[in-house]
Amino acid sequence: MNNEGGNMGDLDFSYEKDHLKRIHEALKRRNLFMNPNNGWGIHGPHEGMNYQVYVGFAYTKLEDIDNTSKGFEVAIRPNAVYQVESSWHYCNPQDRIPVGWRLPEYHD
């Protein structure tokens, strides 16, 4: 997980069930999966940033959640989920993952 430019706390989902639920719901709306054991982080709120951002790995297939090389880093903000290219601080509009997103299918 890229934590460049800011302090991020590690989430312990055995105690922080409300955060687990928020992350799961945001990913589910985008047809993505998570592994709660893959080290999710949380940043905010603080002065200059009145919201929280969750950062961790998402997967397009449930069977891949134990293999981080098959996942990709995402930043979950209050109203959007972004694929992280370099740092979760600099999410671009083109990296936004829309609700209802599906991996494109390729046919021979």
**Position 105 in a domain:** no
Residue 46 is part of which domain span? 9-95
Predicted confidence (pLDDT) per residue in 53-78, tens digit: 999 999 999 999 998 889 999 999 99
CB-CB contact of 17 with 31 (8 Å): no
Residue 20's pLDDT is what? Answer: 94
Residue range 76-107, pLDDT digits in tens: 999 899 999 888 777 788 889 989 877 655 44
Is 27 part of a structural domain of the chain? yes
Answer yes or no: is 1 within a domain.
Answer: no
Residue 102 lies inside a defined structural domain of this protein: no
Cβ distance 73 to 39 under 8 Å? no
- Is 39:56 a contact under the CB 8 Å cutoff? yes
Three-state SS at 46: strand
The answer as to whether 2 is a domain residue is no
Q: How many domains does the chain have?
A: 1
How many other C-beta atoms can be found within 10 angstroms of the C-beta atom of residue 63?
9
Q: Is residue 32 situated within a structural domain?
A: yes
Is the residue at 83 inside a domain? Answer: yes
Is residue 103 in some structural domain?
no
Q: What angle do CA 30, 34, 39 make, to 5 degrees?
A: 135
pLDDT tens by residue, 41-56: 998 888 888 889 999 9
